[in-house]
Structure 1
Amino acid sequence: MLTKSIPHTFIRNGYYYFSRRVPADLQGHYSYHRIVQGLRTTSPQKAKVQASITAAKLEAYWSQMRLAKSDVIGLSLVRDSSSSSQEVASNQPQTNCPSLLDALEVYLEQKGKGRPKTFRVAAERSCNYLIGLSGNKPLSGYTRQDALQFRDWLIVRGLTGSSITRNFSYLKAVINFALSEYALDIRNPFVGVYHD
């Protein structure tokens, strides 16, 4: 039975589980009508954060699936992007570039020592929000468009200005630290994004 205090969760043997019904219009993509995943925690606070992140990832993924299925005006006018995307890929050496999760791991390893748990949770939450929205790309793969989309998504979620600033601060810190550690000459697209 789902818990009322934490949306999309239930408890089994003292542990929290995430549970979400697949929307009717997307059930053709799934082999089962419900998604269930263990959150590996008995703590209500941790379960609430993890369930919120997982739900946000799912919503973002389902939005992408719906967009992929929809008819887009002017699609017949779009040039074949496979050749141009290959050119862009060849111009951006991403072979040795760490992903955002790699950057987060290095950041928490180095900067998280002696810090309270809230430091780790906040950094993970901000990065997981972005991964749920844009995917776990190499750091060189994130663009200004990703940053603007992330800002707009946080606003739509109803976050206050200070919460949006905090999420951007953690993302910038994680990315900047990794760029410094790996000596990468990449501009951080999350720097200087305006929000009211």
Structure 2
Amino acid sequence: MLEDMVQVKLPVYFYNRNGVYYFSRAVPSDLRHRFNKPKIEMSLRTKSPVKAKKLATVLSDRLERYWDGIRMDDVWSKELGLVALKSPKQARDESPSLDDALRLYKDLKGDGKNKLFFESADRSLRYLKDCLDHDEVADLTASDASKFRDYLFERGLSSSSVKRIFSSVRAITNLAAREYGLAIGNVFGGTFIPDRTVAKRRLPIPVSDIDSIQAECLEIGDGPRLLIALISDTGMRLAEACGLALSDIRLDCEVPHIALREHPWRRLKTAKSERDVPLVGVSLEASKRLAKGNGMFAFPKYCSGEGCNSNSASAALNKWLRPRVPSGCVIHSFRHSFRDRLRAIECPSDIVDQLGGWSTDGVGHSYGQGYSLAIKSKWLTEMVKRGK
């Protein structure tokens, strides 16, 4: 009797159209963003209301379980920090451009990085955009990577440069794919890059040319010329010298030297690059003149608290050097000459390595504290004498 009084109205998920029954159910509002339409409709292929009701009930029950599974997956994804990958169509619709990917990379990875980090990322993406005829991260394919490799070789870049650019592009696009949930894979990860281009060999500057250049540098005596003079008898890399603080020039000691250390505005190339370099000959005279300067930096034209612009110094100094050195010689050639000049006096190779900040093979060379400033100064003094 009570059952007759209380009537429970069950949901109805089917209807009749032209004598045939159809299933119809709206997608729950919390899941509509996961589907391409708001309602599910399909023919039940029956004219029997009893059979239609049974089929609709079964379909509705299956949908409920399916939707509950999606909800549970979303909960687990949030708990585990998972990112749901988008379908190829969704990826194309929501894909960031290459410029978007670059901005994202610099925003997320650029904190605390120096100017070189941003310049390298900008240059690598510019090469990629110039090469491809599309601008969407989701459209990148393995064939694009192969095309990009060939494009870089056609520009005359060496294998090491191509590998370095690929590494940068790979980091940028992979980060964008993860952040946007794109299922594009590691497009730039498996591309074969052959050792096709022979690295350019830097020629040393003849000692006779070094002597005349040193004399002219001291005669002119401005910052760029003193920079060349400093490098000429110390073997320092250009960036190392450009980034010197005046406090790095130690003249009031038994052995005058450069205390080459890493600074916030200028990093060093390797761990071995941090060293004490004795000052002799023209480099000592250049350091005495530099020490009389004001401010914080030895070469304020190329260095400030914001960074060290050794690229600008290289361009300017190479332009000045070009008519004074043989073809193929550049500012970095002083470093090659430095090693040859030490070989000429039969300086032990491990002392040469310590002077120039080169890595020395063998476990035994890492033992102890290395050679003293006095011993290193003795060899540099002999090198300068031999060249005169």
If the length of structure 2 is used for normalisation, what is the TM-score? Answer: 0.27
8 Å CA contact 1:101, 1:136 repeated in 2:
no
Contact 1:126–1:171 at 8 Å: present in 2 too?
A: yes
Displacement of 1:194 in angstroms is: 0.4
For the 8 Å contact 1:92–1:140, the answer to whether it is kept is: no
Shift of 1:135: 3.9
Among 112, 115, 123, the alignment partner of 2:113 is: 115
Q: Quick check: 1:147–1:190 contact (8 Å CA) kept in 2?
A: yes
SS in 2 for 1:114: coil
Q: Note the 1:60-71 alignment, pairs <5 A.
A: none
Name which of structure 1's ranges 182-191 and 139-148 shifts more when overlaid on structure 2: 182-191
Structure number with bigger Rg = 2
Please tell me whether the aligned partners of residues 151 and 164 of structure 1 are also in contact (alpha carbons under 8 angstroms). Answer: yes
Query: Does the Cα contact within 8 Å between 2:140 and 2:184 map onto a contact in 1?
Result: no
Shift of 1:108: 0.3
**If the length of structure 1 is used for normalisation, what is the TM-score?**
0.51
Question: What's the secondary structure of 2:94's corresponding residue?
Answer: coil
Q: Secondary structure at the match of 1:122?
A: helix
Q: 5+ unaligned residues in a row in structure 2: which ranges?
A: 1-86, 195-388
Which residue pairs with 1:158 in the alignment?
A: 156
Task: Tell me the residue number matched to 2:181.
Answer: 183
SS of structure 2 residue aligned to 1:106: helix
Look up the match of 2:317.
none
Q: 2:127 aligns with which of 129, 132, 144?
A: 129
Of structures 1 and 2, the one with the larger relative CO (CA 8 A, separation 6+) is 1
Residue aligned with 2:192, SS = coil
Residue 89 of structure 2: aligned partner: 92
CA distance in 2 between counterparts of 1:117 and 1:136 reads: 28
Q: Residues 109-161 of structure 1: CA distance to partner in whole angstroms, max 9, x if unpaired?
A: 11011101110111111111110111452111112221111100111111111
CA distance in 2, matches of 1:183, 1:96: 10
CA shift in 2, pair 1:121/1:135, >3 Å: farther
Q: Which consecutive aligned stretches of 4+ in structure 1 deviate over 2 angstroms post-superposition?
A: 90-93
SS in structure 1 opposite 2:93? coil
Partner of 2:147: 149
CA distance in 2, matches of 1:115, 1:149: 30
Percentage identity across paired residues of the two chains: 40
Three-state SS of the structure 2 residue aligned to 1:163 is helix
Change (3 A) 1:125 1:135: farther
Q: Which runs of 5+ in 1 are unaligned?
A: 1-89
Corresponding residue pairs, total: 107
CA RMSD of aligned residues (A): 1.6
CA distance in 2, matches of 1:179, 1:142: 11
Deviation at 1:191, TM superposition (A): 1.3
Contact residue 100 and residue 136 of structure 1 kept, 8 A: no
Secondary structure of the residue that 2:175 maps to in structure 1? helix
* One-letter amino acid of the counterpart of residue 184, structure 1: L
Contact 1:130–1:150 at 8 Å: present in 2 too? Answer: yes
